[in-house]
Amino acid sequence: MSAELHRRRVLNFLDAFYGGDTEAALKCCDDDIESMVYLPVELFPHLGPRRGKAAISELMDVHDARYSSRRFEIKFLVVDAERAAGIIDVSFTKRTDGRVLTMPSGLFLTLRRGLITELRSFFDTIDMIAQLTGRDLVGPLLREAGPALRPPELPPSSSGTRANKI
CA distance 129 to 143: 19
CA distance 68 to 58: 16
DSSP 54: H
CA distance 62 to 39: 15
- Indicate the pairing of strand 50-51 with strand 100-112: unpaired
- What's the total number of domains in the chain? 1
Query: Looking at residue 114, which CATH number applies to its domain?
Result: 3.10.450.50
77 in a structural domain: yes
119 in a structural domain: yes
- Domain extent for 22: 3-139
Q: How far is CA 133 from the centre of its chain?
A: 18
116 in a structural domain: yes
pTM: 0.80
65 in a structural domain: yes
37 in a structural domain: yes
45 in a structural domain: yes
128 in a structural domain: yes
DSSP, residue by residue, 120-136: EEE--HHHHHHHHHT--
Per-residue model confidence (pLDDT) at position 134: 83
pLDDT in tens, the chain (166 residues): 588 889 999 999 999 999 999 999 999 999 999 999 888 777 777 788 899 999 999 999 999 999 999 999 999 999 999 999 999 999 999 999 998 989 999 999 999 999 999 999 998 888 888 888 888 877 877 777 767 777 778 888 766 555 554 5
144 in a structural domain: no
